[in-house]
Amino acid sequence: MTDTLTSGDVALMGVPLDMHSSFLQGPAFAPGRIREALHSGAANLTAEDGTDLGSHPGFKDTGDLDVFEQFGPEAIAKIEVGAAERLATGARLLSLGGDHSVAYPLISAHADRYEGLNVLHIDSHPDLYDEQPLGKLGHGCPFARVMETGKIKRLVQVGIRTMNAHQREQADRFGVEVVDMRSWSADYTPEFDGPVYLSLDLDALDPAFAPGVSHHEPGGLSTREVIDLIARFKGQLVGADIVELNPHRDPYGMTAMVAAKFVKEIGARLLTR
C-alpha cells in the first residue's frame, strides 16, 4: 500500500485499535465509518479552499494497519512502524483512529522525522495521566508518553475542560501550554515556528455537534470553530490524526460526517500549504 507514495502525497491510514480505551470500545470501527461518510455521495470531496481530494493525484488511501483487537506495546510498535514506513516516502500522514492511545506512536514517528516538532492537541481532555488502571498506554496517557520522549518542542492543548490536579501537575512538569475552554475565544490563533503535528480528539467538540464519542463532555467547541482553527493556525502542518469516533454512539452517522469534513479540511492543508 505504501509503494505508490511519493514525496508531497498525503497518505490516509486507518488505525483500528480501541483496546486502550478506559470506558467503552467502538473506535476500532471508526476508520471504516469515516471512509464511508467521505465516499457516501452525500457530499463531494472538495475542501472549503477549493482543493478537491476526489481528483487530487496526491491524496492516497493506504488502508488500515493490522491492529484490530490488539493491544499493548506490540500494537503500539506496529503503529509506529506503519507511520514511519509512510513518512520515509516523503508523504504526509493523515491517520484515522482508533482511540487516542494511537497518538503516542504516531507523534513519535513524526518527531523522529521532523526535528523541533510542535504538537497542536485539540481535545476536551489533557490526556496527560502518568498511568491509568489499564496501564501506561491508556488513551488518557498519550501526551505524557509523548512529552517523555524529550523530542517535542511545544505542546499546545486547546478545548480542555477536564483538568484535574494530577494532570495539572503533569502539564506544569512538561511545560504544556493549555488553552482551556474558559480562556478560549473564537479568534485564538496559535503560532508555531517550524513543523506542526495536529492531534484531533472529536470529544473536543460539544456533544451537540459530535455525539458519537465515548466520553461526552458538554461545553465544547463547535464544528465551525474547529474548522477555522485548522485553517488559521500558523506553522507548517506535517501530519495529523482524527481519533475517538465511536460509531456505536453515533446517531445517523453524523459524527462520522464531521470526521469526514475534518479529513477534507486537514487533507487540503497538508496537500497545499
- CB nearer Mn ion, residue 5 or residue 242: 242
Q: Which residues bind Mn ion (CB under 5 A)?
A: 100, 123-125, 127, 201, 203
- CB nearer Mn ion, residue 67 or residue 146: 146
Q: Which long-range contacts (CB under 8 A, 24 or more apart) does 42-48 make?
A: 42/257, 43/257, 43/260, 45/264, 46/264, 47/264, 47/265, 47/267, 47/268, 48/227, 48/231, 48/264, 48/265, 48/268
- CB nearer Mn ion, residue 5 or residue 204: 204
- CB nearer Mn ion, residue 51 or residue 124: 124
* Residue given cell 470531496 in the structure block: 45
Task: Report DSSP state, residue 7.
Answer: T
* Residue given cell 482553527 in the structure block: 229
- CB nearer Mn ion, residue 92 or residue 100: 100
* Minimum gap (Å) between residue 202 Cβ and Mn ion: 8
* Minimum gap (Å) between residue 23 Cβ and Mn ion: 11
- CB nearer Mn ion, residue 127 or residue 250: 127
- CB nearer Mn ion, residue 127 or residue 206: 127
* Minimum gap (Å) between residue 51 Cβ and Mn ion: 27
Strand order in the sheet with 59-64: 59-64, 10-15, 92-97, 234-243, 191-201, 117-122, 152-160, 177-180
69/91 Cα distance (integer angstroms): 28
223/258 Cα distance (integer angstroms): 7
* Minimum gap (Å) between residue 151 Cβ and Mn ion: 20
Q: What does the angle CA 67 – CA 254 – CA 53 come to, to the nearest 5 degrees? A: 70
* Minimum gap (Å) between residue 214 Cβ and Mn ion: 8
- Are 211 and 203 spatial neighbours (Cβ–Cβ below 8 Å)? no
- CB nearer Mn ion, residue 207 or residue 267: 207
* Minimum gap (Å) between residue 227 Cβ and Mn ion: 18
* Minimum gap (Å) between residue 91 Cβ and Mn ion: 25
* Minimum gap (Å) between residue 107 Cβ and Mn ion: 13
Contacts of 96 (CB under 8 A, 6+ apart): 12, 13, 14, 15, 30, 31, 34, 35, 241, 242, 243, 259, 263
Task: Report DSSP state, residue 52.
Answer: B
Question: What is the SS3 assignment for 252?
Answer: helix
List, in sequence order, every residue forming a beta bridge with 60; answer none if it has no partner.
11
